[in-house]
Structure 1
C-alpha cells in the first residue's frame, strides 16, 4: 500500500537553485485524498509476501478476505461488490450477510469501483491500476496501470511544451512576456512528468464512473484523468483538457440529469464538463481543502462534501458555491439517496440525513467504532465499507 508524499517521491534534478526552489514549492503539499489516507492510516489486516510486484501478482486468496480493509463498494444488479487492500474483492448475493472472494490479477489496493449494468464493472486503485469485470465482479482483468498512464500523460505534456515554444517563436513583442511564462510552465510540467515516469507507477486512481456501458471516466491523484468510449477496453488521457496546471487531485466524479459531468477534488475545486469531457470549466468553491464527493440533489442544485465535515452547495450548476454549516469534524466520505432522503456518511460512522435536497441535515444514526470509506443503500439496509470489511446497518426508509 504505497503512498509517496509529493515532496519525496519525485527525484528532482534541476539546473539552478532558483528553479529547484520553485519546483519544491509546487511539490510540497498537502492533505492526501481520503482513499490514500484511510489506507495509510491503519495497519493492514492481511499479511503479504515481501518483494513481489503487486501489479504482476494476483490478490492472495484468504479466509479473512471479508474482514480486510475495504475502500470501494458498488451494487452490481442485486449483488454487492467491495474492493480494498492488496487487490481483495469480495461479492455478496444475500445483501452483505455472507461474502466470497473474487479472482483479481493484481495485489494493489483498490480505491473505487462502478458498474455500468448488472454485469460490467470497472475498479481502480493504487499504482494507477484499472480492472474490468464482465461477470458482476467474480473475475477481473487488468486493462491499464500507472506505467501506461504515465506514458500517456508524458506525451501530452511534451506536446503542450512544443506548442508553447512554437507560440513563443511567433509571438509579437506585446505577447512575449506571457508566452515566456507559458513556456516556463509547460516545460516545468513536462519535466515533472518525466520525473514521474522514471519513478514508475506510484500514483493512485481514486474514482471511476460510467455514463453508459461504453462511455466512462477514471480520475485520480496529481491530475490524472482518463476516458474510454469502448467499455474500458481502451483509455485515453484527457488530463490536458482540464484547467489544472498545479496537478491537483481529483477525488470524485459526479453527474447531473442534464448530462453534465463533475469532478471534485483538492483545493475545493469543482470541474464541470457538458460535452463528455472534451472541455471543462473550473469553479472555486471558496473552500481550500479536499472535497471527497459531489452530487446533484435537484436540477441545477449540487452538493459537495469533504474533509472535516465541510459541506458546500450550488444552485446554479456549480458556477458559484456557498458553504453550509459543517457536519461535525469528521470527513464526509460517501452519500446515498433514498427517494426524497439524502444520506451522508462520515468517516467515524456518523450518518446524516437531509429531507430538503441537501439544504440542511440531521443526525440519522451512528455506527460507532467503525472507520468508513464507502457507503451503499440496499432497501432497508446500509452497507458501510471500511476497516474490517463491509458492515450492515438498519435504515428506516423515508417512503
Structure 2
C-alpha cells in the first residue's frame, strides 16, 4: 500500500533548531488532480487533497482544481484542518507543513529527510494542540500550532521488562536511548481525536486509547494480528477500526470487545469515513464498503484504482485515489 510504505530509520532527536533542512518546491504540472493522492479534507469552503511529490490541490466545487505552492517534493500522506483556514499536512521525510489560507499556500514546519521516517497521519484537537504519527512509533506533539514539534515516546507500549531499562538508559546515555527506541515500537498508522478521547491504530493489531487527551495511553488487548490503518466513531458511540485484507471490527459501546464485520471482499481498507449513521470504508482495488447500522454492502469503481480517502461533498463522495480525484454518488 503506497501510503504506508516506510524506509529503514536511523535515530535522530528532532528539535526545532534542526527541524527544517533544505527542500525543493513541488513541481507544478498541468493536471495535478490526476496524480496519486493519499488523503483529502473539506475545510468548510474548499476541498484539499495531498499526495505524490508534494502535490496539494484545492477546489471549491469538486470540478475545477488548482495546484498549491508547496515547498517540498516528499510524498504527502495526510491532511487535516482545525478551522476553515488553518490546516496541516504531513508525509515522508518526517515532513509537516502548515497553511493559514485554506490550503492555497504552505510553509514547512518540519522536514527531516535524514531520518528516512514517514509521518502517516496528522490531526489537531484545536488550532494549537496537534499530533503527527508514523513509522516505528513516531509521534510528534505541538501545543502552539506547530511552531514547535516535540517528539514523544509512549512507554506504555513497551514490554514491561524493558521499561526500567529504558528509563535508566535515557538518564545515563541519551544517544543510546535514541538508538534503542528507534525500532522498538510498531508503526502508528492513524490517530483520531474525539474530545479528550484519543484513539490510535497501528501495525501488529495495535489499538490504544487515551482518556486524558494523550497524557496516558492504554493498549487494548489485541483483537487482530494484522495492521489497522484507520479508526472512526459511529453515531451510537462505537468504534470502527479497519485495515489489511478487508478486516474491519466494530466495538460494543463500552469498548470492551470488538467483533469482525462480515465484509464480502478482502481489499485492504485505507480509511473509515463516518457520516451520520453510515460508515464508508475506502479500500484498495476501487472497493467502497458501506455500513448502515448493521447492514453491510459494497461497490467497486470500474477502473479498480485504490481509494486512499474520501469526503462527503454536496451529496457525493470526493475520493483521493491512486489515479487522482474521482467523484461518485453517495449512498443515502
Q: TM-score normalized by structure 1?
A: 0.70
- Tell me if the contact between 2:7 and 2:117 (Cα under 8 Å) persists in the aligned partners: no
Aligned residues: 297
What do residues 181-218 of structure 1 show as CA deviations (whole Å, max 9, x unaligned)? Answer: xxxxxxxxxxxxxxxxxxx2211000111111111111
* Corresponding residue of 2:44: 77
Query: What are the equivalent positions in structure 2 for 1:12-27 lying under 5 Å apart?
Result: none
The structural deviation recorded for 1:10 is 6.0
Q: 1:4 to 1:294 in 2, by over 3 A?
A: closer
Residue ranges of structure 2 left out of the alignment (5+ in a row):
12-20, 160-183
* Corresponding residue of 1:380: 315
* Corresponding residue of 2:128: 214
More helix by share: 1
CA distance in 2, matches of 1:308, 1:204: 22
CA distance in 2, matches of 1:261, 1:349: 29
The structural deviation recorded for 1:242 is 4.4
Query: What are the equivalent positions in structure 2 for 1:1-399 lying under 5 Å apart?
Result: 5-6=7-8, 56-94=23-61, 96-146=62-112, 200-244=114-158, 246-256=184-194, 259-298=196-235, 300-356=237-293, 359-363=294-298, 365-369=299-303, 370-397=305-332
CA distance in 1, matches of 2:264, 2:82: 31
What do residues 252-279 of structure 1 show as CA deviations (whole Å, max 9, x unaligned)? Answer: 11233x5210111101111111122111
The structural deviation recorded for 1:145 is 2.3
> Post-superposition, which runs of at least 4 consecutive aligned residues in structure 1 deviate over 4 A?
1-6
Q: TM-score normalized by structure 2?
A: 0.83
CA distance in 1, matches of 2:208, 2:254: 11
- Tell me if the contact between 2:234 and 2:277 (Cα under 8 Å) persists in the aligned partners: no
Residue ranges of structure 1 left out of the alignment (5+ in a row):
12-53, 148-199
Q: 1:285 to 1:87 in 2, by over 3 A?
A: same
The structural deviation recorded for 1:240 is 3.4
1:361 partner SS: strand
Q: 1:59 to 1:396 in 2, by over 3 A?
A: same
- Tell me if the contact between 2:287 and 2:306 (Cα under 8 Å) persists in the aligned partners: no
2:115 partner SS: coil
Q: CA RMSD in A?
A: 2.3
What do residues 335-363 of structure 1 show as CA deviations (whole Å, max 9, x unaligned)? Answer: 2233222221221222222221xx44212
- Tell me if the contact between 2:38 and 2:51 (Cα under 8 Å) persists in the aligned partners: yes
